[in-house]
Structure 1
């Protein structure tokens, strides 16, 4: 059985993973959902530290799962301790390069337009395209917290050690991410996308929106189990 460490995206805490964690635990796995520091003064390094502390506590062989923004603190943590992680699973997100910040890597999303003081306010709702059930949507609106602004403006510093770790990408099709899109990135020949076609790198697609932990937790848990065993397809496999 595997140990999964689950890292949330923007505005969310470990609560977002409750249904997925329950599915994994029912199948005999261990699931640890991380809640990242939400204090306005927190920076990206604080979030990296939080994930790194959980990895150190769990020990070698952990499957590290990162949703959306969570890829930044997750990659930062595994870059420090690659020997502790058997696989990184990216849920509907890419991975950063050293020196990048969230706002620089996502220019299409104007995260800073509504900044109040030291935090990015919680959006009013999850768009309908993501098909989050009403009860989960209401829970999200009740529990979501503002994002410390430095977590999205601080650049991440990486040695590249994390690149040795096998990875899996889970693409949510309603977000317009897909294996075909990953192929187009690899085809550019840019060094940052070389890892996409390496041995040990696999992919899944889910017919969901950006929040599968809220809209399809059973299906996501099934994919995470398969990813832990090296399942999925390579970039150029049918």
Structure 2
């Protein structure tokens, strides 16, 4: 018999699993929920000197009670913070664990505390300050549970009903600081245990986006691809046991049987999506490289209008080729150069979501370098953003300069994603629309976009309509994120031509 041992995340206890556990039981599985010390009893549970080792011991106690009965196949499920005590316990009982399931939980590392995985920087700082007040290591200290309005700082609340959110708030308990601050210690034995990740696509990337990140060289995800980790998706927010209990039960059952999709490691037999040919056969153009910037030049001395193409990310620092040589960027640059505008590709240093500041500075410097070139008409410039480069748009939507004639974006991220912890960042294009004035915008939407990114685009479009901002939308109904190399259909080709024509039209005056 399969026995699911379910470990809840920060501030929560066994009660969150009620509906999912009932469905798993109805399907013939056995379910045990772990009451983590200081959390399992709800509000007012004793914190004392509770740390991560305390919670590992809690999980070990349940594992040992199950393992004492013959014929049990143990599947350990960790949600959110819960993955840390799950790994600590599995490392010490690797021989009796059939599988570990990460339920919308990040990766863990030996010697790294759970606090490092908290997405919101301000929350990490708050916990660190509380630890100092309570005596350095956080012994006896507690992090207060979120208010009803603050749960989104810990993960997307998508699909939670008002009643579920109220219940989550009412039953939440303070999180003992020691559980977040004590480093996880692993011997390495847990590496032998099969792993499945259940991705909540309303809160973070899905499998296709992970594959893109593997392809561009993300070392942590490359390791997951090499290890054959399986992945399943749930189209909901960070608390699927409350928002989609039936679907979660089915996903856990499939995970226990080894189901799911696996990432493809880079290799000779796999051509990364971002390095496949551009969907249009565009002739080469004269190309000049200066610093981090390439100019794809039209015919004639100029001055010509310019379109600056800003790649997405994060892209690992060691990725080769660098983005300015990727077929999508060079394809667009050649395309506009053939129509009489300078096409600009560049590299910026968005190597992690915490590095938008330096990436934005790289883009700003590149734009000024382009405008200073005598072959460029400094008063006729457009910026075109892609994917994770979208948040950088915010700087240019905020009181745009008169020489900026248009801003375009393809399958962009237009607000910080819930898993980034950057809700208060300046890199928030939706909010920046209030200062965009009459700047024309061109938005290319991928119909098969991931749920988390599509939500930011919908929010942006709604805000633009509310503020009567000039947005021309070009839809690619069957297109995926990065459709220019993934989906070379006639409809996609027409969408590219239409988008280019829309941008160039705004540079013609």
TM-score, length of structure 1 as denominator length: 0.91
Residue in structure 2 matched with residue 180 of structure 1 by the alignment:
208
Q: Does structure 2 retain, via aligned residues, the 8 Å contact 1:213–1:220?
A: yes
- SS of residue paired to 1:62: strand
SS at match of 1:156: coil
Residue pair 2:101, 2:195 contacting (<8 A) in 1 also: yes
Unaligned 5+ segments in structure 2 are 39-45, 135-140, 266-509
Q: Greater Rg, structure 1 or structure 2?
A: 2
Q: Is the 8 A contact 2:113 2:184 kept in 1?
A: yes
Q: Is the 2:157–2:239 contact (alpha carbons within 8 Å) kept by the matching residues of 1?
A: no
Instruction: Please give the alpha-carbon distance, in whole angstroms, between the structure 2 residues aligned to 1:177 and 1:151.
Output: 27
1:49 aligns with 2:57: yes
Alpha carbons of structure 1 residues 144 and 42: separation in structure 2 relative to 1, 3 Å: same
Q: 2:79 aligns with which of 67, 75, 86?
A: 67
SS in 2 for 1:130: coil
Q: With a CA cutoff of 8 Å and minimum separation of 6, indicate the structure with the bigger relative contact order.
A: 1
Matching residue of 1:31: 31
Instruction: Output one character per residue of 1:61-100: Cα deviation in whole Å (capped at 9) or x when no partner.
Output: 2000010101100000000110111010100112211110
1:196 to 1:18, Cα distance in 2 relative to 1, 3 A = farther
Q: How does 1:6-155 map to 2 (within 5 A)?
A: 6-38=6-38, 39-40=46-47, 41-59=49-67, 61-106=73-118, 108-109=120-121, 110-113=123-126, 115=130, 118-125=141-148, 126-127=151-152, 129-155=157-183
| Residues matched between the structures, number | 236
CA RMSD between the two structures: 2.1
**Which 5+ residue runs of structure 1 have no aligned equivalent?**
none
Displacement of 1:104 in angstroms is 2.3
Query: 1:228 pairs with 256, 264, 273, which one?
Result: 256
Which stretch of the first structure deviates more once superposed, 137-146 or 176-185?
176-185
Q: Does structure 1 conserve the Cα–Cα contact (< 8 Å) formed by 2:6 and 2:77?
A: yes
Task: Please state how far the C-alpha of 1:44 moved relative to its aligned partner.
Answer: 0.4
Other structure's SS at 2:9 match:
coil
Shift of 1:185: 5.1
Counterpart for residue 247 of structure 2? 219
